[in-house]
Structure 1
Amino acid sequence: MARLDVIEVFHGISFPGHLHTQESLQLAQKFPFKDTDILIASYPKSGTTWMQQIVTLISSKGNPNLSQTVPNWTRAPWLEQYYFSVLLEASSITSRVITTHLPHHLLGPALQGSKAKVIYVSRNPKDVVVSFYHFHKMANFLPEAGTFSEFFNRFLEGTLSYGSWFDHVKDWTSHTATMNNLLHITYEEMSLDLYGTIKRVSSFLQSNLVEDEVNNCVKHCSFSSMKNNKMVNYTLIDEEIIDHSKGSFMRKGKIGDWKNMFTEEQNQYFKSVFKSKMQDCTLEFVWEEPDKEEMHAQTVNKAE
């Protein structure tokens, strides 16, 4: 397929040329957001697809028809990709749902003054690097992953496609206090409390749902439901672009899978880099799946 090996460098950040051109990236920076727009922003492999599904289901009051008949990249197209304008023009949805992996400093000016609702999705970086590594092995439009050790170092250096995870997360989340139209949701929240997450997002979007509608959203936004949904799991994409024989786009969906990949030495090195780069960041991260008994105790305590 065309441009699979091309890399576009834009403002010092690498983007896969199969999906991006200099023109599409420049247009994204100048995009005229409407106040009714919903923007999902994230670093890759942080729960983007999950949030696209959540927003779709909330917007349709829990009715799964759209999420089962229209691919997620058509329902919530990527702002910076070259086919964005075509998909947006073809859309008949009033409240447009748009997705982006761009850092805030490239998109902030376009959002300034807009009332568009922004949902920023983050995930603990240890799981991000493992998930991104496995995706690189499948995605023929991304550079060769190399060994995990090599990939791990490139991630920490911020030289992978889409730039530095550290800069991306700090840049976007530093605006949560000043932008009242920005909601920060974590992958771990979606995994541990999908019901609560859907309630939070629906409240933010001012789309009040009755109990049955929330439960329908939960049902069709579960990881297992998405993994089996061709409109979500990317199996519709040509094998030349994503080699499905090398893995599954929706792989495990587990918190703490990094422990199956990291050596102790890598973990210690990661901690030191993380501490250095995130020293001025107040975000707290969930690094592994909480103990079920501990979670039950916390639920009981909250109820009391």
Structure 2
Amino acid sequence: MSLDPEKAVLPSRQQLFDFHGVSMIPIFTDNWENVQNFQARPDDILIATYPKAGTTWVSQILDLLYFGQTERQKTIPIFERVPFLEIAVPSLVSGKDLADKLTTTPRLIKTHFPVQFVPKSFWEQNCKIVYVARNAKDNMVSFFHFDRMNMAHPDPGDWSNYIHRFMEGKMVFGSWYDHVNGWWKKKQTYSNIHYMFYEDMIEDTEREIDKLCSFLSLSRSADEKKMIAGGVQFDNMKKNEMTNYSTFSILDFKISPFMRKGKVGDWKNHFTVAQNEVFDEDYKKKMKDPTLQFRTEI
């Protein structure tokens, strides 16, 4: 098994299938038993998101908060520092095996699982979980461009069909609505979830880093937090080969970069007025919980 993502055998685009009621593709379900039996430790930190909601951003922030600006930041790509638990690409070490091999304390691990798929040991060990949510419209635009360049994901087709697929939850990792609501609901009964919003992070990164530090009981100086906030700004991460996924061969950067814009409100460049009206109608039906509110502009 190779550890080197540049040598990954390029899978052909995979087809969605229904997996325990959630649309999935085989590279995220093939290692199901092993992933479900993953042994979490009490100090593990799980970073959970719907795809394209700021996962890499928060992963880098947490890595810097815990381990500082060290050599590992310059030499180890983010997907090795923060393994993707459920991924199992043929010819690559699985995310679960990478997580098992982590030597850091704490171990930072990421997942895109809806809440009901999370291995039970994370709950049993009372692990801290950082969840990041992004407004549906921007999340969908980002996912659309990601699906275009990710050769393992199903072909996104054209934009107007994609909107309907998104509304129906026919996406890798299922419905955005179920995902953000499921994790929000879990937070009411499991106090070790810190639920963050992508829009808040864009608006004031330092403030959100402060909140993260409180949640994780970390004391970092104002200067350290300021430096981290500066280092993780979008343009810096987009240029950084250790965070921009440019070494990951499944992604075709000729089609689109992994880190594209990192903006709030880019959906306005994609939705027609009619599409927006249909989407808003549908959104109202699915987002019933008044306590969970998203901003589509800041």
Q: TM-score, normalised on structure 1?
A: 0.89
- Aligned match for 2:171, one of 151, 160, 167: 160
- What corresponds to 1:207 in structure 2? 218
1:36-90 superposed Cα distances (whole Å, 9 cap, x missing partner) = 00000010010111110110111124x2543332111111111111212331243
Partner residue of 2:271 out of 262, 273, 289: 262
Letter in 2 for 1:75: R
Name the stretch that deviates more: 148-157 or 2-11.
Answer: 2-11
What is the number of equivalent residue pairs in this alignment? 284
In the TM superposition, 1:95-114 aligns within 5 A as 95-107=106-118, 109-114=120-125
Structure 1 stretches of 4+ with a deviation exceeding 6 A read: none
CA shift, 1:280, in A, is 2.9
The 1:203–1:66 alpha-carbon spacing in structure 2 relative to 1, beyond 3 Å, is farther
**Root-mean-square deviation over aligned CA pairs:** 1.6
Correspondent of 1:123 among 122, 128, 134: 134
Separation of aligned partners in 2, 1:280 and 1:58: 33
Q: Distance in 2 between matches of 1:87 and 1:251?
A: 27
Please tell me whether the aligned partners of residues 8 and 20 of structure 1 are also in contact (alpha carbons under 8 angstroms).
Answer: no
Number of the residue aligned with 1:284: 293
Aligned AA (2:259): M
Mapped to 2, the partners of 1:259 and 1:5 lie a distance apart of 29
Distance 1:84 1:126 in 2: 29
Deviates more, 1:88-97 or 1:127-136: 88-97
Structure 2 residue matching 1:259: 3-state secondary structure = helix
Q: Secondary structure of 1:183's match? A: strand
Instruction: Select which of 143, 147, 169 maps to 2:154.
Output: 143
Q: Does 1:176 align with 2:182?
A: no
Give SS of 2:180's match.
helix
**Structure 1: unaligned runs, 5 residues or longer:** 290-304
Residue identity over aligned pairs, in percent, reads: 38
C-alpha distance in 2, partners of 1:8/1:151?
Answer: 14
Deviation at 1:20, TM superposition (A): 2.8
Distance in 2 (alpha carbons) for counterparts of 1:15 and 1:3: 15
Q: Distance in 1 between matches of 2:219 and 2:56?
A: 22
Q: Bigger CA drift: 254-263 or 168-177?
A: 168-177
Residue 53 (structure 2) pairs with residue 46 (structure 1): yes
Q: How many angstroms does 1:281 deviate by?
A: 4.5
Q: Distance in 1 between matches of 2:16 and 2:155?
A: 16
Alignment of 1:77 onto 2:77 = no
Matches within 5 A, 1:5-20: 5-7=13-15, 9=17, 10-17=19-26, 19-20=27-28
Where does structure 2 lack aligned partners over 5 or more consecutive residues?
1-8, 89-93
Distance in 1 (CA, whole Å) between partners of 2:73 and 2:232 is 10
Encode CA deviations 1:227-262: one digit per residue, 9 max, x unaligned.
111111111112xx2111111111111100000000
